[in-house]
Amino acid sequence: MNKYEKLFQSIFDKTKNKDIKWKQINKTAHSDLIFNPNLVFRQFSGSFQKGKGIFEVIFIEKKMDDPEHHFTYQKYSPELLVIDEDNELLVTLTDSIIDKNQMIELMSLLENKNERARVLFE
């Protein structure tokens, strides 16, 4: 497991154990840190502590035209950003680094643990 996979696994485990409290935020938040922010359709934010630092973790869902289908269909593209206390982007995890199925599994956890959406599932 490489350092990016370890970081993702740590965030996943902290989410599963409710150590990270996620909330849905405006899709335009953090647009200064996101590559192609106009493609974002949903964002979630949470914070966690590692060592002496407190970090914000952002889960972004994007939809974009799929070149494999001659741009007639859209594809789902998840990203995970880690931001420090000074609002500096430290790490970007995409489905080119982390298996897309693992990203989708994290997304399903977020939906179920999201304060606003949880009432829909009770």
- Give per-residue pLDDT as tens, 6-23: 999 999 999 999 899 888
pTM of the predicted model, to two decimals?
0.84
Q: Which pLDDT does position 54 carry in this prediction?
A: 92
- The CA distances from residue 43 to 23, 46, 69, 79, in Å, are 9, 10, 26, 10
Q: Which pLDDT does position 28 carry in this prediction?
A: 94
58-94 b/e (C-beta count within 10 Å ≥ 16 → b): bbbbbeeeeeeeeeeeeeebbbbbbbeeeeeeebbbb
pLDDT 10s digits, 41-71 = 899 999 988 888 999 999 999 887 666 756 5
Determine the Cα–Cα distance for residues 97 and 86; give it in Å rounded to an integer: 25
Coil, strand, or helix at residue 5?
A: helix
Q: What are phi and psi of 84, to 5 degrees?
A: -90, -175
pLDDT 10s digits, 55-114 = 999 999 988 766 675 656 666 789 999 999 999 999 999 988 999 899 999 998 887 766
Q: Which pLDDT does position 121 carry in this prediction?
A: 65
| pLDDT greater than 90 at residue 119 | no
Residue carrying structure tokens 């966690």: 48
Is residue 48 a contact partner of residue 68, using CB atoms and an 8 Å limit?
no
Is residue 25 a contact partner of residue 119, using CB atoms and an 8 Å limit?
no
Q: Which pLDDT does position 73 carry in this prediction?
A: 62
